[in-house]
Every structure is written in structure tokens, then in C-alpha cells.
Amino acid sequence: MRVFAIIGIWLASLSTGFIYGQAQFITNPINNGYFADPTIVKDQGTYYIYATIDPWGGKEVGVLATKDFKTWEQKHINWPTKQACTSSTSRNDMVWAPSVVKARNGNYYMYVSVGNEVWVGVSKHPLGPWKNAKADNSPLIPSNYLPGFHMIDAECFIDDDGEAYLYWGSGLNWVNGHCFAVKLGKDMASFVGKPQDVTPPNYFEAPFMYKRNGTYYLMYSEGKAIDATYKVRYSTGKTPFGPWAEGVNSPILSTTADSTTYGPGHHTVFKANGQPYILYHRILPPKKDYVLRQLCIDSLNFDKAGNIKRINPKGVKAFTKNHSTK
């Protein structure tokens, strides 16, 4: 009987260790919903992810709240909506690709694509109430602002000195993607100077700026957002406007050999406990005439020379204090 008791204790410890290990790891996809094009902010211990609702956007933006990347609550905010963000130049596209940042004035700003136009909203809190940051309720960038390109995928970057920059742009028919950039005014809803074409090598859409040790890393997606060609690349420069040289190891995130990670792209980067993480979507290989995408997370690491290392998609160790086995 004593032998059986010892075996029972040993098996129980193995089971507990397995459960504890699961609790201490964030697996991909990070939740069961279908979302894409994520951005993320943290406020008072809660992470808020804003994303496109699949398939191909909804009448509102998707908002997910979590403290531990295990338990999720979907929220609904008052703005943006397809109805509120429609102008005389709007097209039929739904609510896509938000970028949310906290500015030096303490307000949150959202740059979001609706109707193939970029709109800017402002709020005191991640969950709102939100409103158009422009007094006339017009888009920040109308669809016809730069003919020949999609006015989508706007991403706001706030530099170390508090100055803000906006990056955006995509091509038509999956080709000729261009990236545009401009410095934002103190109101975060106006331009300082004229937008510049800052297109880096092998760019199609979804720009994201990351700064490390004085180097600007312009990250972006290449390929078709509907298949395995979609991937994440990056280029480096010494100013927010470049010029750019494609980075070593680029592309850093691509479809894996077993297609578990399929068409990864349109990402954001955030830090927790000093470690950078890349939050992105991957495609659920389509069986119908539409694409569904899932949110994923991995560590973003650098070598001694400052090059971004290639990512082996597998999820990450828990980095919040809210994980437990209970």
C-alpha cells in the first residue's frame, strides 16, 4: 500500500507541474476569436487590444481586455463605427486596423481605417468615451488624398522627445505598396509639413515603427494578406523618415514549414518587464471564400549587433503577475 501511495503522490506532482507549466505559458492563438491587425495599450494593470473583426472588418472595432493573456473579455466602445466614420469620399470598406497610443498630454489617440480613409479619435480612457479628434468630424486622411494608393493601416509612433509621427499606406491589387509619413501637430490631429514617401525595400503595407538604442526600425508586411506569402520585414534608419536599409534576417516572421503559422503579419510591438513582444495575426487557412485570422504573440529579440532575430513562432512565457494555477 505504501508503494501505491508513493506512486500516487508522484503522479499528482507530475499533473500539478504540467498544469503549472501550462499556466506559465501563453500559447498561440492567444484567444478563440477571429481578429486581425492588432494594437495594444496597458492601463492600470489591464491590457487592451484593439483589432479588426474578421471576416474583413465589422461596423465597429474589436476590443479585448485581459490582465493575464489567458482570460479575455470583449468590450464595445462608442467610436469608431462605420456610421460615424463615413464621409463624402468614403468607400465601402469597414472598420480596420486601429493604432492606439497614449500621447504626452495624457490622452489616448486612435488612428483607424474606415472606408479606405484614416480617422483619428481621442479619449481619456482606453474604453472611452471616444470622439473624433477633429472638430469638423472629417477624416484625417480622405480616400482620395494620394490617388493610386490605399489610405489605410495608419500607425502612430511617439519618439523619445514626445514628438509624434504617423505612418500609413498600402498598394492596390496586392502590388505597389507605398509608405507615407508625416510629423503630427501637438493636437495629434494635424500635420506639420507635408507627408513624405518613405517606402522601404519590399514594403506592401502595415508599417510599425520601433526605436532601440538610437536606431529606428521600420517594420512592415509584404505579400498578400490572404495567403502564405504574407510576412513581416524590417528596415533600419537614423531618423523617423529614413533613409532605410533592409535589416539583417528580414523577413523575420513568415509562414512555417508545417503551416501552423500561416501568412503572419500586420503586427505591433510592446514591452513588458523590459522584454519586447510582437503581437500579430496569422491566417486560419481558408476553406471558404473569406479569410479568418487569429491573434498570436512571440518574443522579439535582437543580436549583439542590433539586428532583429528571426522569430520561431511558439508563444511566450507568462510575463504578467496575474497568472496562477487556480
pLDDT in tens, 65-105: 999 999 999 999 999 999 999 999 999 999 999 999 999 99
Q: Please, is 144 exposed, middle or buried when counting C-beta atoms within 10 Å of its C-beta (0-12, 13-18, 19+)?
A: exposed
Amino acid of residue 3: V
Is residue 85, in this structure, part of any structural domain at all?
yes
CB environment 78-115: b (16+ within 10 A), e (fewer): ebbbbebbbeeebeebbbbbbbbbebeeeebbbbbbbb
Task: Find the domain containing 287 and state its range.
Answer: 30-317
The pLDDT tens digits for 233-277 are 999 999 999 999 999 999 999 999 999 999 999 999 999 999 999
Task: Report the candidate in 47, 71, 54 with the shortest Cα–Cα distance to residue 277.
Answer: 47
pLDDT surpasses 80 at 18 = no
Residue 260 lies in a domain: yes
Residue 8 has a pLDDT of 45
Residue 99 lies in a domain: yes
Q: How confident is the model at residue 23 (pLDDT cuts 50, 70, 90)?
A: low
pLDDT of 24 reads 87
Assess if residue 14 is contained within a domain: no
Measured between alpha carbons, how far is 156 from 184 in angstroms, rounded to an integer? Answer: 9
Place of cell 497568472: 323
Q: What is the CATH number of the domain that holds 243?
A: 2.115.10.20
- What is the Cα–Cα distance from 226 to 211, expressed in whole angstroms? 29
For residue 149, is it within any domain?
yes
pLDDT at residue 2 in the model? 46
Q: What is the structure's pLDDT at 322?
A: 55
Give pLDDT tens digits for 34-45. 999 999 999 999
In total, how many domains does the chain have? 1
Q: CA dist 182 to 107, 154, 197, 242, Å?
A: 20, 11, 9, 12
Residues 6+ apart with CB under 8 A from 25: 315, 316, 317, 318
Q: What is the residue type of 57?
A: G
Cα–Cα distance list, 158 to 128, 148, 161, 186, 311 (Å): 21, 28, 8, 11, 25
Question: For 168, how many CA atoms within 13 A lie in the half-sphere containing its CB?
Answer: 32
Does residue 296 lie within any of the structural domains?
yes
Q: Is residue 24 part of a domain?
A: no
Strand partners, 76: none
Sign of CA dihedral 292, 309, 270, 181: negative
The answer, yes or no, to whether residue 9 has pLDDT greater than 60, is no
Is 188 within a domain?
Answer: yes
